[in-house]
Amino acid sequence: MEYVSLAFGESIHGGIFVADDFKKDNLDAPITLFMPDALLDLQGKLSSHTEYALSEAFKYQSLVPSIIVSNYNEVVVFFPPNRKAPRVLFERVCTT
C-alpha cells in the first residue's frame, strides 16, 4: 500500500492511500486531512478554512468517497454531493 502526501497550503496537510485492493474493486480510498483550526463554527456550520480544505480535496480527486478531517481535537467525516444529496454532508465523530 502506498501513501500519497497532500499539502494544500494554509497549514492543511494530509494524504490518501493508494492500493491495488482499491483498484481491483473499483473503489477510491478516502482522503485524510489535518488542519490547525476549528472545523465547524459555533452554529455547527463549516468554517471557511474547512470549506477551502474540502474544495482543494475535491479538486485533487473529484470522486473521493469521503474526506476525513481532524484538527487533533475533533474529527469530522465529509461526504461529497451526489444525486440524493446535492450538498456536502458531514458527520462529527465522537472523540471522547
Name the pTM for this structure: 0.84
Question: For residue range 15-48, what is the model confidence (pLDDT) as tens digits?
Answer: 988 777 667 666 678 899 999 999 999 998 999 9
Q: Could you state, in order of their start, the residue ranges of all structural domains in the chain? A: 2-93
Predicted pLDDT of residue 81? 85
Q: Which of 30, 93, 28 is nearest to 57 (CA)?
A: 30
Question: Which backbone phi and psi does 84 adopt, to 5 degrees?
Answer: -80, -30
More confident residue, 18 or 54: 54
Closest CA to 4 of 71, 57, 50: 57
With H, G, I as helix, E, B as strand and everything else as coil, classify residue 50. Answer: helix
pLDDT per residue as tens digits for the range 67-94: 999 998 999 999 988 888 888 899 999 8
**Residue 11 to residue 78: CA distance in whole angstroms:** 19
**78 neighbors 67 (Cβ within 8 angstroms):** yes
